[in-house]
Each structure stands twice: as structure tokens, then as C-alpha cells.
Amino acid sequence: MIMNEVTRRQAIGLMGAAAVGLGTKTALGSTTAATGRYTQSVCQWCYRDIPLRDFFKQVSDLGLTAVDLLQPDEWAIAQEFGLTCSLGYADAGNISDGLNDPANHDGIVRGMEQNIPKAAAEGVPQVVVFFGNRRQLTDAEGIDNCVAALERVAPIAESENVTITVELLNSKVNHPDYHGDRTPFGVEVIKRVGSPRVKLLYDIYHMQIMEGDVIRTIRDNHQYISHYHTAGVPGRHELDDNQELNWPAICRAIVETGYEGYLAHEFMPTRDPMTSLREAVELCTV
């Protein structure tokens, strides 16, 4: 049977709603979503035109239970709406000034010393840090420097049961000169640190741009990954039929590794934001 686009979308929506429990009302009247084997989240910065409390309310009403990439002073506000910060900032460097430069190490360590205990106290399971821009460093130098910094903060993370998550980003489109732009680079850093509380953020959007072969990469390296991000390629928009990734297949592959952490949506919506988010949650439910 051949379905037109409207019928196809309606069918997908009905199947997704059945899978995640969308449309079930709690006593408070909010929609709930049991988001499958892992927990789905959403990155707040993609919705920054929505006032923060309004955004948290809409996310909670949608049935999600977590929001990604919040500052420490926003963690408690999210909690007011029944939301966990699934991945928090720790005031530890930034995308361009990260772990690969020893000049940044003391500042990164101070941020971690201050905010990892706060994360533990407020139920934030992970904090993010970045590899930094290359600035003519070789891969060997960058790896050595990243390992040295992470070895200083790993004991803090281990003592507080909070995971330090280092993000892989593309250097082709969004972050020119970023050093951690390939999975093998990040995996080598994580292997050498050797801590169960230091892992990678595998951003599917960024790594599709840089290397493709997403499903095989996840299967081969899942033990070094503690967090996933989504967005459509090209454009970093909705997970729809205007982009090239097969999200149901990718999400099944993630589940097949035994992953039970967070998958956070980090696309920039071009249509009604909450409708786009709801569609993404349905599509990625396994």
C-alpha cells in the first residue's frame, strides 16, 4: 500500500504515541512520556527564544523529564518543574579553550572542583567539558594534554559519582580548528585516562559530518560513550525527511549496546518548536 505524506506522518505519530505513552494524562493534567530503554532529553540553547521557565513548563508538559546543557544556577529552576539537568556545564573551559592546552588546566580543575559536588547534590549525573581548538598542536600533543587534565579531575568525579563527558564536535561546518573532531582521537583520550567517570559525548550530528559510519562507530566504541546528541544533517534542524540520517536504525543500534543513559535532542527547530520536539521523541523511541 502506498501512503501519501500526510497519511505516513499520521501513522508514524500514532505508532510513536503508543510506544511512548503520549496522550496519557497525569492527575496534574500534564502529558507523560515513557521514553523507552534510554531517557530522552532536550538541549535548552536550541530554544533560547522561549523564556526559561516557560520552556521548562512546556518540556514537562510534553512528558520529558530532563534538559541538557544548563548552567549551575539553572539546575534548581529545572527541578521546580520536575526536570533533571541531564548534562550540566561546570564552568570548566569552553569549546575553543579546552583540555588540549595546559594553560587552561587550572581553570578547568577549579570549575570541576566547585561544580561536580554541586552536581552530585542536585542530581545532575554528568558535566560537560571540551577538547579545545587545535591551534597547531599535533594529535599526540593534544591527547597528552587532555589526558593530563582529565587525570587531575577524574578522582573528583569518581568520589561524587558524576561523569565528566567530553564532547566530540565537527571542525568542518560549526567549529573550525576544533581538536576533538574524530572518534578515534576522543577514544584514545578516554582509554588512557581509564576512569569509569570520564567518557565521551558522541554527537551524532557532528560525527556524521566528520566521518559518517555512525552505527558501526557506536557499536565499536559504545563503552567509551556516556551521552548522545541528535540533530538532522545537513542543517542541524528537525529529524525529518529533509535530512540524511536513519534515526530509528541509529537508536536501535544504541539500545542494542545496552545503553540506558540519555539521548538529548540538539536540533534547531524551523517549525513549531514543541511539535518538532514531540516528533523527534516519537521517532527516537525504542
Q: Are 147 and 191 in contact (CB under 8 A)?
A: no
Q: What is the pLDDT of residue 105?
A: 97
**Phi-psi group of 103: left, alpha or beta (phi > 0 → left; psi -120 to 50 → alpha; rest → beta):** alpha
| Segment 201-251, tens digit of pLDDT | 999 999 999 999 999 999 999 999 999 999 999 999 999 999 999 999 999
Q: What is the pLDDT of residue 17?
A: 33
Range 42-283 classified under CATH 1.10.150.110: no
Q: What is the pLDDT of residue 10?
A: 35
- Tell me the whole-structure pTM to 2 decimals: 0.88
**What is the chain's length?**
286
Distance CA 6, CA 39 (A): 28
Residue 186 C-alpha cell reads as 576522543
Mean pLDDT of all residues belonging to the chain: 90
Instruction: Find cell 534547531 and name the residue.
Output: 268
Q: What is the pLDDT of residue 36?
A: 67
pLDDT profile of the chain (286 residues), mean per 10: 36 34 31 65 97 98 97 98 98 93 97 98 98 98 98 98 98 98 98 98 98 98 98 98 97 97 98 97 96
Instruction: Find cell 549496546 and name the residue.
Output: 257
Instruction: Find cell 564532547 and name the residue.
Output: 167
Distance CA 49, CA 68 (A): 16
| Segment 254-275, tens digit of pLDDT | 999 999 999 999 999 999 999 9
Q: What is the pLDDT of residue 30?
A: 34
Best CA proximity match to 50, nearest among 63, 67, 72, 75: 67
Q: What is the pLDDT of residue 92?
A: 84
Give the start-to-end residue ranges of the domains of the chain.
42-283
